[in-house]
Amino acid sequence: MSGQTHAEGAELLRVTDLVKHFRPPRGARRDGPSVVHALCSVSFSVGPAETLGIVGESGSGKTTLLRTILGLQKPSSGQVLFLGEDVAQRRGKRARALQREISVVFQDPYTSLDPRMTVADILAEPAQIHRLTAGSRTAVTLLDQVRLPAASLRKFPHEFSGGQRQRIAIARALALDPKLIVLDEPVSALDVSVQAEILALLNELQRERQVSYLFVAHDLAVVADISHRVGVMYGGQMVELGPTGQVITEARHPYTRELLAAVPVPDPQVERAKPRMLQRQWPTETDGLPPCPHGDVL
Ligand SMILES: Nc1ncnc2c1ncn2[C@@H]1O[C@H](COP(=O)(O)OP(=O)(O)O)[C@@H](O)[C@H]1O
Ligand SMILES: [Mg+2]
């Protein structure tokens, strides 16, 4: 956790009233809903060199949020501005520029790295895709930044541990000097001790390079460890958003309190004294939250 504050008004990313509906395929509609509300009026911003952590259980809309920000899918309504420019409106050169400015790290380092490519090729690929000869970092520099030896260059992904593979994925994400890195459950597949090493690395890289992170996980302890601010997603809505310390000490939403109760505390006395949320009380439209649009509104 960090007490760093950010100049008001300085922002890299602004998400406003983002809504994304999916229509399940025809065959699946008979018993299920006719529309899945994956994102319901989500709004937030990310500042320079800031980490915004987003926590929520599986199906709460986290990956949909990231895919919409990356411009991989269009929002049903609402807007994603990156450096003041609408991501969904970017075409051609501007769309390719966005891919350099925002990079991504996925959960599973076993499938996100091509097993047939050497580390040298993996790290050279972003510059090749964008036909950049200058301005991108060399593979050795990138490896050094993620604390891997230069001898790794000739090796293939299967020769590395899960944590080392995620270091390679982070090195690839740094290749084009992005302003924002979007991380979708980047440590969820790793052991707790390796998780801590990767989180420490991400913190160091942020201090060195002033890069911003949008960091998504289902584990509040992990998100709280790395984030300046935390947003809590439930059922496609951002039910809580604030500085990390405040979200932890003054959680106002029952789902956040349930997440907090699920975080293990090393002291057994504290652990026993923690309130247990046995009964789920999910948000209603009277909680002061914007209601999720219902019905076939596509
Ligand atoms: N392409 C899609 N088509 C239909 N439904 C989808 C699609 N992508 C996601 N969903 C639905 O949207 C909701 C949110 O999913 P997702 O964003 O993957 O959540 P999370 O990453 O938090 O687990 C889920 O109900 C999921 O089934
Ligand atoms: Mg997901």
Percent of residues, the chain, with pLDDT higher than 70: 80
- The DSSP secondary structure of 139-194, one letter per residue, reads HHHHHHHTT--GGGGG--GGGS-HHHHHHHHHHHHHTT--SEEEEESTTTTS-HHH
Delimit the domains of the chain by residue range: 13-287
The pLDDT tens digits of the residues spanning 114-133 come to: 999 999 999 999 888 887 76
- Indicate the CATH number for domain 13-287: 3.40.50.300
According to DSSP, the β-strands at 85-86 and 77-82 are antiparallel
Protein residue with its CA nearest to atom 8 in ligand 1:
64
What are the pocket residues of ligand 1 if the criterion is a CB atom closer than 6 Å to any ligand atom? Answer: 22, 24, 36, 38, 56, 58-64
- What sign results for the dihedral spanned by CA atoms 116, 120, 126, 128? negative
Protein residue with its CA nearest to atom 6 in ligand 1:
22
Distance from Cα 185 to the centre of ligand 1, integer Å:
15
The pLDDT tens digits of the residues spanning 260-291 come to: 887 766 566 555 555 443 334 444 433 444 55
CB-CB neighbours of 292 under 10 Å: 16
Ligand 1 atom closest to the Cα of residue 67 is 17
84 Rama sector, left if φ>0, alpha if ψ -120 to 50, beta otherwise: left
Q: Residues 204-209: what's their mean pLDDT?
A: 96
- The set of residues, in sequence order, having a beta carbon less than 8 Å from that of 25 and lying 6+ positions away, is none
| pTM (2 d.p.) | 0.86
The pLDDT tens digits of the residues spanning 148-194 come to: 999 999 999 999 999 999 999 999 999 999 999 999 999 999 999 99
Contact of 150 with 118, CB cutoff 8 Å: no
Ligand 1 atom closest to the Cα of residue 233 is 22
Q: Residues 31-37: what's their mean pLDDT?
A: 71
